[in-house]
Amino acid sequence: MSVREFNVIVAGVGGQGILFTTNVIARAALKLGLNFAQSEVHGLSQRYGSIRTELRIGSDVSSPLILEGTLDLLIALEPLEGLRQAPYISERTTVVMNNHVIPPVGAYLERFPIPSFDEILELMKSLNPKQIMVLNAYDIAKKAGDYIVANTVMLGAAQATGVLPFPEGVLREALEEVSPSRYRDLNLRAFDLGRESVSPPR
Amino acid sequence: MGDLLAPANTLEVLLGNEAVARGALEAGLNVAAAYPGTPSTEIGEALAKVAKQVGIYFEWSANEKVATEVAMGAAWSGLRALTMMKHVGFNVASDAIFTLAYAGVTGAMVIVSADDPHAHSSQNEQDNRHYSESVGLPMLEPSNPQEAKDFTKEAFELSSKYKIPVMVRTTTRISHQRGPVRLGEITAGFSKGKFVPPEPDRYLQVGAIARKHHAELLGKLKEISLDVAPSYAKVEGASDAEFGVITSGVAYAHAKEALKLVNVDAKILKLGMTFPLPEKAIGEFLSSVNTVLIVEELDPYLEMRVKAIAKDYAPEVEVLGKLTGHMPRVGEYTMRTVLNGLSKALGVAPPVNFAEIDRRSSEILKKVPPRPPVLCPACPHRSTGYALRRAAGRAAFMGDIGCYALLFQKPFRVEHVTHAMGSSIGLANGIDVATDQDVVALIGDSTFFHAGIPALINAVHNKRKMTVVIMDNRITAMTGHQPHPGTDVNAVGDEAPAIDIEKVVRSIGVDYVKVVDPYDHAATEKAIREALKHDGVSVVITKRECALLTVARLRRQGQKIVPYRVNPDKCTYCRVCINTFACPAFVDTGSLVEIDPTVCFGCGACVPVCPYGAFEPQEGSLNWREQKIGV
| Same domain as B421, residue B347 | no
The Cα–Cα gap between A186 and A166 comes to 23
The Cα–Cα gap between B486 and B493 comes to 14
Mean of the per-residue pLDDT values of chain A: 94
DSSP B427: H
Strand pairing of B537-543 and B466-472? Answer: parallel
| Same domain as B70, residue B215 | yes
Residue type, B422: G
Contact between B186 and B54 under an 8 Å Cβ cutoff? The reply is yes
The answer to whether residue A201 scores a pLDDT higher than 50 is no
Q: Tell me the shortest Cα–Cα distance from B595 to chain A, in angstroms.
A: 11
Q: Are B360 and A86 inside 8 Å of each other by CB?
A: yes
Q: Which residues of A145-174 are buried (b: 16+ CB within 10 A; e: fewer)?
A: ebbbbbbbbbbbbbbbbebbbbeeebbbeb
User: Could you give the number of structural domains in chain B?
Assistant: 4
Q: Tell me the shortest Cα–Cα distance from A68 to chain B, in angstroms.
A: 7
| Same domain as B392, residue B460 | yes
Within 10 Å of residue B530's Cβ, how many Cβ atoms?
15
Per-residue pLDDT tens for A98-110? Answer: 999 999 999 999 9
The Cα–Cα gap between A40 and A50 comes to 12
> Which of A41-45, A140-144, B300-304 comes out lowest in average pLDDT?
A41-45
Contact between A38 and A65 under an 8 Å Cβ cutoff? The reply is no
All residues at 6 or more sequence positions from B125 whose CB lies less than 8 Å from its CB, including other chains: B116, B117, B118, B119, B298, B330, B331
| Same domain as B74, residue B159 | yes
Q: Is residue A1 part of a domain?
A: no
Contact between B112 and B29 under an 8 Å Cβ cutoff? The reply is no
The answer to whether residue A200 scores a pLDDT higher than 60 is no
Q: Is residue A137 part of a domain?
A: yes
Cα–Cα separations (whole angstroms), residue B99 to B72, B102, B211:
11, 5, 11
Q: Are A106 and B368 inside 8 Å of each other by CB?
A: no
| Same domain as B498, residue B403 | yes
Q: Is residue B106 part of a domain?
A: yes
Q: What percent of chain B has pLDDT over 90?
A: 99
User: Could you give the number of structural domains in chain A?
Assistant: 1
Which residues in chain B touch residue A41, judged by CB atoms under 8 angstroms apart?
120, 176
Stretch B371-396: mean pLDDT, rounded?
A: 96
Q: Is residue A143 part of a domain?
A: yes
Which residues in chain A touch residue B252, judged by CB atoms under 8 angstroms apart?
62
Stretch A61-90: mean pLDDT, rounded?
A: 98
Task: Name the nearest CA neighbour of B338 among B330, B323, B350.
Answer: B350
The Cα–Cα gap between B519 and B623 comes to 10
| Same domain as B604, residue B459 | no
The Cα–Cα gap between B380 and B517 comes to 9
The answer to whether residue B31 scores a pLDDT higher than 70 is yes
Count of CA atoms in the C-beta half-sphere (13 A) of A141: 22
Q: Are A108 and B121 inside 8 Å of each other by CB?
A: no
Q: Is residue B363 part of a domain?
A: no
Given B187, B212, B227, the domain boundary residue is: B227
Contact between B443 and B470 under an 8 Å Cβ cutoff? The reply is yes
Q: Is residue B5 part of a domain?
A: no
DSSP string, B412-423: T---SB--STTH
pLDDT tier, B1 (very low <50, low <70, confident <90, very high otherwise): low
Q: Are A62 and B410 inside 8 Å of each other by CB?
A: no
Stretch B281-295: mean pLDDT, rounded?
A: 98
| Same domain as B177, residue B36 | yes
ipTM: 0.96
| Same domain as B341, residue B310 | yes
Q: Are A42 and B41 inside 8 Å of each other by CB?
A: yes
Given B227, B246, B262, the domain boundary residue is: B227
The answer to whether residue B214 scores a pLDDT higher than 60 is yes
All residues at 6 or more sequence positions from B21 whose CB lies less than 8 Å from its CB, including other chains: B4, B42, B43, B44, B46, B47
All residues at 6 or more sequence positions from B504 whose CB lies less than 8 Å from its CB, including other chains: B453
The Cα–Cα gap between B448 and B576 comes to 33
Give the nearest chain B residue to A57 (CA atoms): B179
Q: Are A64 and B575 inside 8 Å of each other by CB?
A: no
Given B227, B258, B275, the domain boundary residue is: B227
The answer to whether residue B560 scores a pLDDT higher than 70 is yes
| Same domain as B397, residue B345 | no
Interface test with A, best of B270, B339, B361 (most A CBs within 10 A): B361
| Same domain as B246, residue B217 | no
Within 10 Å of residue B488's Cβ, how many Cβ atoms?
11
Q: Is residue A11 part of a domain?
A: yes
Q: Tell me the shortest Cα–Cα distance from B563 to chain A, in angstroms.
A: 12
Stretch B501-518: mean pLDDT, rounded?
A: 98
pTM for this predicted structure: 0.97
The helix/strand/coil state of A8 is: strand
The enclosing H or E element of B229 equals none
Burial of A128 (0-12, 13-18, 19+ CB in 10 A): exposed
- pLDDT at A46 (0 to 100): 65
Q: Are A87 and B179 inside 8 Å of each other by CB?
A: no
Contact between B149 and B19 under an 8 Å Cβ cutoff? The reply is yes
A62–chain B Cβ distance below 8 A for any pair: yes
Residues 157-176 of A with CB under 8 A from B: none
Cα–Cα separations (whole angstroms), residue A52 to A103, A114, B523:
17, 20, 40
β-partners of residue B82 are B32, B110
The Cα–Cα gap between B483 and B474 comes to 8
The Cα–Cα gap between B250 and B235 comes to 16
Domain limits at B603? 560-616
Q: Is residue A155 part of a domain?
A: yes
Helices in B58-206 by DSSP H: which ranges? 64-75, 87-103, 129-131, 145-162, 172-175
Within 10 Å of residue B292's Cβ, how many Cβ atoms?
28
The Cα–Cα gap between B183 and B170 comes to 19
- pLDDT at A45 (0 to 100): 57
Residue type, B462: N
The Cα–Cα gap between A113 and A120 comes to 12
Q: Is residue A201 part of a domain?
A: no
* CATH of residue B597: 3.30.70.20
Within 10 Å of residue A15's Cβ, how many Cβ atoms?
20
The answer to whether residue B245 scores a pLDDT higher than 80 is yes
Mean of the per-residue pLDDT values of chain B: 97
Residue type, B275: F
The answer to whether residue A199 scores a pLDDT higher than 80 is no
Q: Is residue B262 part of a domain?
A: yes
Residue type, A103: P
Within 10 Å of residue B616's Cβ, how many Cβ atoms?
15
- pLDDT at B160 (0 to 100): 98
A79 cis-preceded (ω within 30 degrees of 0): no
Domain limits at A148? 6-196
pLDDT tier, A202 (very low <50, low <70, confident <90, very high otherwise): very low
- pLDDT at B191 (0 to 100): 87
Stretch B82-98: mean pLDDT, rounded?
A: 98
Compute, in degrees rounded to 10, the torsion defined by CA atoms B219, B225, B231, B236.
180
The helix/strand/coil state of A36 is: strand
Q: Are B335 and A67 inside 8 Å of each other by CB?
A: yes
Query: How long is chain A?
Result: 202
Give the nearest chain A residue to B373 (CA atoms): A49
The answer to whether residue B161 scores a pLDDT higher than 50 is yes
Which residues in chain A touch residue B404, judged by CB atoms under 8 angstroms apart?
none
* CATH of residue B516: 3.40.50.970
Which residues in chain A touch residue B368, judged by CB atoms under 8 angstroms apart?
80, 83-84, 86, 115
Which residues in chain B touch residue A4, judged by CB atoms under 8 angstroms apart?
none
Q: Tell me the shortest Cα–Cα distance from A85 to chain B, in angstroms.
A: 9
The Cα–Cα gap between B624 and B631 comes to 9
Q: Which residues of B88-118 are buried (b: 16+ CB within 10 A; e: fewer)?
A: bbbbbbbebbeebbbbbbbbbbbbbbbbbbb
| Same domain as B171, residue B262 | no
A181–chain B Cβ distance below 8 A for any pair: no
* CATH of residue A173: 3.40.920.10
Report the largest interatomic distance among the alpha carbons of chain B, rounded to a whole angstrom: 82
Stretch B295-299: mean pLDDT, rounded?
A: 98
pLDDT tier, A168 (very low <50, low <70, confident <90, very high otherwise): confident
| Same domain as B215, residue B275 | no
Which residues in chain A touch residue B574, judged by CB atoms under 8 angstroms apart?
none
Per-residue pLDDT tens for B170-189? Answer: 999 999 999 999 999 999 99
Q: Is residue B621 part of a domain?
A: no
In this predicted model, which residue has the larger pLDDT, B562 or A198?
Answer: B562
Out of B41, B121, B584, closest to residue A48 by CB: B584
